[in-house]
Amino acid sequence: MAADAPQIKALYPQITAANLNRTLFLGGAFSYRLATSWTAGVGKQSDNILPVPIGGKLDMETEGFFNLPLEPELDIEWEELRGLSVEELLVKMSEAMGLPPGETSPEFVDKMIGLMNYPAFAENTDAFDFHDRYNEVTAPALMVSGWFDIFVDAQIHDFVKMREMAPGDAGRYTRIIIGPWGHVSGVHPDAVRGARLGALIREFMVFDWYDRWLKHEMNGIENAAPLTIYVMGKNEWRDEQEWPLKRTEYTKYYLHSGGGANTKSGDGVLSTEEPGDEPADNFTYDPKDPVPTAGGHNLLENVGPKEQKEVEARDDVLIFSTPPLEKDIEVTGPITAKIYAASSAVDTDFTIKLCDVYPNGTSIFITEGIVRARYRESYTGPSLIEPGKIYEYHIKLWPTSNCFLKGHQVRIQVSSSNFPRFDRNTNAGGQGGPMNIIVAEQTIYHGGERQSHVVLPVIP
C-alpha cells in the first residue's frame, strides 16, 4: 500500500503477502479454519463471521459446508470490480444487491459475507490485492517466510515479482529467507535450528539490513544471496540465486494400483514408471464425515508436519507410496498434480497431500493441494460436472523444500476433503440450500491414457 512512499528506504515483511486471494482460496476451496480463527483473533465476535472460537470444537453436523449457487444473484460482472477503492466497492456492491448506495445494514453485511465465499470476488477485487504495484516499490525488502506458513506461496510470488518488476535497488536487492516453521511458530521437528536463525535475523541481520539502507553503511549485506532456504530432511540452510531453481528436474511420479489403494494397507504404488492397463480406485466421500485436517498451512493450531496415522487408516483416503528409497531425493520448488477423476455428484472436491514416510512407518505431512470441481477451469467461469464423466483436474500444491532420505518413502494421499483446513463440499452444486448434503462416489483413474500423476521438482 505504501509502495511508492519516498520516505521508505527499506522493508522487512515477515509472513505476509500482497495478494490475500492466494491464501484464502486454493483451487477454489475456501481456507475455512484460517478465516474463522483469524476473525476470532482480530474481528468482531459474530455468529455470521465466527461460529467457533480458536481451539473450540467444531460442530460436524452444521459447520463449514460449501453449497453456493454457481453465481450470486447480482446485477454485476466480476470484472466490474476491478480498480475500485474500498469506498467505491461498497457503493457498487450495495447497488448490485438492490440496496441504497453505500448501505451497510445487517442485510448488506450478510450478503457480503456470502460473496466472500466466491473466489472470483477476491480475484477481481483490487481493494484486497496489490499485485499490480510491484513496479512501484522503490525500497528493497528482506522477506521472511516458512514452509508451513499460510502466506508462503503468496510471499514467494511477491519475491519473484519484486525481483522481476521493481525498479532500482528494490528489484536488485530484495531477498527472501524461508525456514522450517509455520505462521509465527516453530513447528518442524528441526525447528529449534530454525528458531535460532529467527533470533539471528532479528538480532543481527535486520540491524545490518537497516544499517545498510538507512545509514548507508557499506557492510556488504546487499551481496547476500537473493534466496536462503531451509532444506528439511537434510536439515541445512542453503543459499540460492533464483526461484524456481534453474537446475530443477521436474519429474512425474505416477499413481499405480490394482484397484485397492484405500488406506496405507492398500496396494497403491507411486513410481516414475508410466502405468499400463490398470483398474481405477474408488472411495466414498461423505461430507458429514470429512477427512480431518492433520497438520498443514494453518494459522495458529494444527500447524505443519503432523503425523498422518489417523488419516491414512481411513477407507476414503487413497495412498500411493514409493518403495523405500535407494538414495536421497530432494524436492524443492512448486509442485503440481494431474488427476483423472469422475464423481457421482454435480460438484465435489479432490485433495492431495505429499508426505514423507520414515523407515518406522511414520508418515509426516509436507504440503497439500485441493481443487473444487466447479472451478476446474477458472474462478470467473464456474461450471458443474456431469455425474459419471471423467474430467482432468490440475491441482496445485504449495511449494516446499524437503529431502526424502535413503530408506524413506515418498507418499501421495488422494481424497475429497481436508476439514477444517478447507470448507467441505456438500456435492450438491448449490441446490437445496447449505444443508442439502449428498454422499459422492469418487473414482480415480490412472491406467492407459489417463495417467494420474504428481510432478515433483527434483534437485540433482
Of the pLDDT bands very low, low, confident and very high (cuts 50, 70, 90), residue 266 is: very high
Q: Which tens digit of pLDDT belongs to each residue from 162-195? A: 999 999 999 999 999 998 989 876 666 666 555 6
Of the pLDDT bands very low, low, confident and very high (cuts 50, 70, 90), residue 52 is: very low
Tally of CB atoms within 10 A around 189: 12
> What percentage of residues in the chain have a pLDDT greater than 70?
91
Q: Which tens digit of pLDDT belongs to each residue from 364-422? A: 999 999 999 999 999 999 999 999 999 999 999 999 999 999 999 999 999 999 999 99
Average pLDDT value for residue range 225-238: 94
pLDDT of residue 51: 46
Q: Which tens digit of pLDDT belongs to each residue from 280-305? A: 999 999 999 999 999 999 988 889 99
pLDDT of residue 183: 86
pLDDT of residue 31: 95
> What percentage of residues in the chain have a pLDDT greater than 90?
68
Q: pTM value?
A: 0.93
Q: What is the CA radius of gyration of the chain?
A: 23
C-beta contacts of 5-10 below 8 A and 24+ residues apart = 6/138, 8/138, 8/139, 9/139, 9/213, 9/214, 10/139, 10/140, 10/141, 10/142, 10/209, 10/210, 10/212, 10/213, 10/214
111-125, 246-260, 298-312, range with the lowest pLDDT: 111-125
Average pLDDT value for residue range 358-369: 98
pLDDT of residue 193: 58
Residue 240 has pLDDT above 80, yes or no: yes
Residue 349 has pLDDT above 60, yes or no: yes
pLDDT of residue 144: 92
Residue 142 has pLDDT above 70, yes or no: yes
Residue 219 has pLDDT above 50, yes or no: yes
Residue 96 has pLDDT above 90, yes or no: no
pLDDT of residue 231: 95
pLDDT of residue 116: 82
pLDDT of residue 56: 56
pLDDT of residue 187: 63
Please, what are the domains in the chain?
131-186+191-231 (3.40.50.1820), 249-459 (2.60.120.260)
Distance CA(88)–CA(198), nearest Å, equals 41
